[in-house]
Amino acid sequence: MATGRTHRPATRSRGIPEATVARLPLYLRALTALSERSVPTVSSEELAAAAGVNSAKLRKDFSYLGSYGTRGVGYDVEYLVYQISRELGLTQDWPVVIVGIGNLGAALANYGGFASRGFRVAALIDADPGMAGKPVAGIPVQHTDELEKIIQDDGVSIGVIATPAGAAQQVCDRLVAAGVTSILNFAPTVLNVPEGVDVRKVDLSIELQILAFHEQRKAGEEAGAGADGAVPPVAARKQPHSTDQGPDGDVPAVMPA
Amino acid sequence: MATGRTHRPATRSRGIPEATVARLPLYLRALTALSERSVPTVSSEELAAAAGVNSAKLRKDFSYLGSYGTRGVGYDVEYLVYQISRELGLTQDWPVVIVGIGNLGAALANYGGFASRGFRVAALIDADPGMAGKPVAGIPVQHTDELEKIIQDDGVSIGVIATPAGAAQQVCDRLVAAGVTSILNFAPTVLNVPEGVDVRKVDLSIELQILAFHEQRKAGEEAGAGADGAVPPVAARKQPHSTDQGPDGDVPAVMPA
DNA sequence: CTTTGTGAACAGTTTCACAGCC
DNA sequence: GGCTGTGAAACTGTTCACAAAG
């Protein structure tokens, strides 16, 4: 990295904290469910429970968006849905390309929550010529050769990489060169991208390893902390209490640039 | 929540920070790659680059594990691989069940990084009787009725939920009742679990929404910040620079209990 | 010299607790 | 009375910068 204070040149204006941004979709989902049940208002307490956070955090989060609640009453569901959608940029339509149509790519293409909230699958792309033309989730798969054209024609700025790890960086480079500035990466690789391109990473194996860490903790809380491994017979004893209460894990998910 | 200081009653012994735990798998992957190329040692600088973090962070992270480096030289790759694996609990074998064998479940079952690092797919489970017996990734799918038996017989403590949202809580309850204490949830729902059960959540639509937020930022950095919505025509103009450098996003991924 | 390991400064996040408004 | 909105406190995580070690 460069010499000194090169980082984040103070884009500090009306910044919503990242931690808050990461929770807004959670609130939005809970609110959408309430909206569908025609619930007119919610208290921070109720909504927080539905979203799986605590109410103080939720109120603090909302305070960054503005004062959208009514004291003594709560929040108007419809109004909040709209405000959060707006804040997240979901009032506009985001065309998305998915590259790599294996099982995972197909799963993503079929994913319902996709089409609903502002996202539209603009194209499915795969390197296998045999896939070309085959419809997945009702959309015909196109060959990688078309990638640049699709992105430019459709004004795609979000790309999803669901290729094998070996192909990911190359695909990423092509996406970025063609104009994509946000990438959701499912391949287990670190992607190198230029400044200004956001990458989020979803990695099954990392999640499992984090779980394994905690699982091991539980098992060895005071059992023999012996050294050598090779002891498969777990026999999963239930642990009735385990003090572990507040650890909101987190993940180094966004790699900036 | 109870009255006052009920939280985390000081499980503060030799705790590795959560943020560090979340990065260990990243380091491990980079180290494994080096190991395969028979590289004997790495500096924090090189390894950090490979893992996509900065070197100060990496050194700090490693300092929680112990002093495994050599000043002036770097870290011994094999040794570090071992130490991190141990810390993460990957020197033992973790049987995992995957519930819900749709596209996503199949993708997970086929996922290579799965079988490699300590995890073993003990069973694939689906509610559709038509699936029963059909092999996916070489493993025959079993019916949900078998769930409890499998978990108990195999001593499974980690479960992966890849069902539709509507089924997730129910599956979760059964997993927990049968002895599972760590859950990786791909269904877009908040799961309620008792104390002592860890849940990590992977949610495509949340990740996309976070990207959309940042994408919107880039587009509207100083364009007309008009008020009223309803303006779908995007036409994604390319933004050549955009100062956004350091946003390490994060995610409220672990819900404790 | 080179590179680790780490205290100390800083930054970001969560929780508390209560004033202010309905 | 009930519930939001928010400063202030507490905590967690990151970065700096340098002493210590090879």
pLDDT digits (tens, 9 = 90+) for B61-75: 999 999 999 999 999
List all residues 6 or more positions away from B77 whose beta carbon is below 8 Å from its beta carbon.
B31, B34, B35, B39, B40, B41, B42
Q: Is the CB of A72 under 7 A from strand C?
A: yes
HSE, side-chain direction, 13 A CA sphere, residue A208: 27
CB B113 to CB A196 under 8 A? no
- DSSP label of A144: G
pLDDT of residue A133: 97
Please tell me if residue B208 touches chain A, with a CB cutoff of 8 Å.
yes
- Residue B113 pLDDT > 90: no
CB B249 to CB A214 under 8 A? no
Residue B122 DSSP SS3: strand
Report the chain B residue with the minimal C-alpha distance to residue A226.
B86
The pTM is what? 0.85
Class of domain B2-87: mainly alpha
Spatial contact of A201 and A253, defined as CB atoms under 8 Å apart: yes
The Å distance, CA of B16 to C1' of D7, is: 31
Please give chain A's pLDDT, 257 residues, in tens: 333 333 333 333 469 999 999 999 999 999 999 999 999 999 999 999 999 999 999 999 999 999 999 999 999 999 999 999 999 999 999 999 999 999 999 999 998 777 777 899 999 999 999 999 999 999 999 999 999 999 999 999 999 999 999 999 999 999 999 999 999 999 999 999 999 999 999 999 999 999 999 999 998 764 544 333 333 333 333 333 333 323 333 333 444 44
Mean pLDDT of chain B: 84
pLDDT of residue B249: 36
The Å distance, CA of A252 to C1' of C7, is: 25
3.40.50.720, 3.30.565.10, 3.10.20.810, 3.40.920.10: which CATH number matches B94-202?
3.40.50.720
Mean per-residue pLDDT for B44-61? 98
Spatial contact of A123 and A142, defined as CB atoms under 8 Å apart: yes
Spatial contact of A58 and A51, defined as CB atoms under 8 Å apart: yes
CB B251 to CB A253 under 8 A? yes
Question: In terms of Cα–Cα distance, which of A171, A152, A25 is closest to A98?
Answer: A171
Question: In terms of Cα–Cα distance, which of B127, B121, B164 is closest to B142?
Answer: B127
- Residue B227 pLDDT > 80: no
pLDDT of residue A219: 84
Spatial contact of A154 and A95, defined as CB atoms under 8 Å apart: yes
pLDDT of residue B246: 32
Structure-token pair, residue A109: 């293409």
Please tell me if residue A138 touches chain B, with a CB cutoff of 8 Å.
no
Question: In terms of Cα–Cα distance, which of B35, A156, A223 is closest to A215?
Answer: A223
Q: Is the CB of B252 under 7 A from strand C?
A: yes
Partners of residue A157 in chain B, C-beta under 8 Å? 215, 236
pLDDT of residue A203: 93
**Closest to B216 (Cβ–Cβ): which among A89, A240, A254?**
A89
List all residues 6 or more positions away from A159 whose beta carbon is below 8 Å from its beta carbon.
A96, A97, A98, A99, A151, A172, A175, A180, A182, A183, A184
Q: Is the CB of B69 under 7 A from strand C?
A: yes
CB A104 to CB B104 under 8 A? yes
Nearest nucleotide to the CA of A70, by C1', is D4
Partners of residue A33 in chain B, C-beta under 8 Å? none
pLDDT of residue A113: 76
Confidence of residue B229 (pLDDT cuts 50, 70, 90): very low
Compute the 3-state secondary structure of chain B and give helix, strand, coil in percent, each to the nearest 5. 40, 15, 40
pLDDT of residue B239: 30
Question: Would you tell me which residues 181-200 of chain A have a C-beta closer than 8 angstroms to some C-beta of chain B?
Answer: 181-184, 188, 190, 195-196, 198, 200
Q: Give the E-state strand segments of B2-153 in sequence order.
A: 41-42, 69-70, 74-76, 94-99, 119-126, 135-136, 139-143
CB B95 to CB A207 under 8 A? no
Question: Would you tell me which residues 46-105 of chain B have a C-beta closer than 8 angstroms to some C-beta of chain A?
Answer: 50-54, 86-96, 102-104
**Closest to B245 (Cβ–Cβ): which among A82, A155, A195?**
A195
Mean per-residue pLDDT for B178-189? 97
Q: Measured between CA atoms, how close is A75 to chain B, in angstroms?
A: 21
Between A195 and B224, whose confidence is greater? A195
Mean per-residue pLDDT for B154-169? 97
pLDDT of residue A138: 95
Q: Could you give the C-alpha distances from B68 to A28, B72, B183, in angstroms and in order? A: 45, 13, 32
- Residue B221 pLDDT > 90: no
Please tell me if residue B255 touches chain A, with a CB cutoff of 8 Å.
yes
Report the chain A residue with the minimal C-alpha distance to residue B212.
A89
Spatial contact of B143 and B101, defined as CB atoms under 8 Å apart: no
Q: Is the CB of B72 under 7 A from strand C?
A: yes
What residue segments make up the domains of chain A, in order of their start? 2-87, 94-202, 205-236
- DSSP label of A239: -
Q: Measured between CA atoms, how close is A201 to chain B, in angstroms?
A: 9
pLDDT per position as a tens digit, B126-160 = 999 999 999 999 999 999 999 999 999 999 999 99
pLDDT of residue A91: 95
**Closest to A244 (Cβ–Cβ): which among B91, B215, B256?**
B256
CB A182 to CB B29 under 8 A? no
pLDDT of residue B250: 38
Rounded CA gap, A180 and A41, in Å? 39
Rounded CA gap, A172 and A160, in Å? 9
Instruction: Give the amino acid at A218.
Output: K
pLDDT of residue B112: 79
CB A155 to CB B236 under 8 A? yes
